[in-house]
Amino acid sequence: MPRFIESDFDLLRKHLIANKLVTEEWLAKNLSSLRIIHKIVYSFLVWDSCIRKRNNCGKVFLHELRSDAIQSIPIVLGGYKKATALLLRGLVENTLRYIYYSDHPVEYTWLDSGHYMQIKDLIDYAKKDPRFASSERARESLDELWSTYTDISKYVHAQATKHMELVRAMEEIRFDHTFFKWYLQKLKKFGSLANLLLIMFNHDRYASFDPEFKRLLVRTVNKGDRHLV
């Protein structure tokens, strides 16, 4: 990993210890998982930083993507399952809104009046976008993104009893390793799909990114899809 990634990961590790979110013993057992989480979250910091200066209505959603990803780390470590799922779902929503509103400045002005596009409509729109329409894998990735979104939503809406949080007291809210593994799985899946789609959508801009940034972004994408970027 690049030096700047290692440096930032060290800051994250120290922050978690200093704020008693994890112990040294926990870190020793879960270091590789935390590194994966950090790499994916940092990839969204790259997008926010590199696109922020562009005159683009959709860039606000990249900032929200970055914010939700960062917040998800202490929230999942604290054992707040539903809040974690809401943040994960927000990652999907903000990625799709970035893609749509980047090309729809007029519709962007309607947001203040509460005019929101439904997520499935955003998926369907993206499939017709010229940057994705010609790629079968891009369209499949959008379907996978929708599947990931609906799965995460089960924790938000408690559509199945196994996802319901039957917490009776504050003392019952604590780190859950099984849920942490679920969070890691969903974040990895989303990180791979989102970075693939964001690279394809911003291909010309991506070409001008710092080489280290590009390497980081590509490494979050599944190996089988890297030829597309």
Instruction: Give the pLDDT confidence of 107-136 residue by residue, as tens digits.
Output: 878 777 777 789 999 999 999 999 999 999
Token digits of residue 5: 């990634």
Please report, in angstroms and rounded to a whole number, the separation of the first and last CA atoms in the chain.
20
DSSP annotation of 166 = -
What confidence score (pLDDT) does residue 221 get?
A: 96
Residue 59 in this model has a pLDDT that exceeds 70: yes
In 10 A of CB 160, how many CB atoms?
A: 9
- Above 80 in pLDDT, residue 187? yes
Nearest CA to 44 among 60, 72, 63? 63
Q: pLDDT-based confidence at 162, cuts 50/70/90?
A: low
pLDDT at position 116 is: 77
Percent of the chain topping pLDDT 70? 91
pTM: 0.90
Per-residue pLDDT, 170: 61
Q: How confident is the model at residue 86 (pLDDT cuts 50, 70, 90)?
A: very high
Q: Is residue 168 very low, low, confident or very high in pLDDT (cuts 50, 70, 90)?
A: low
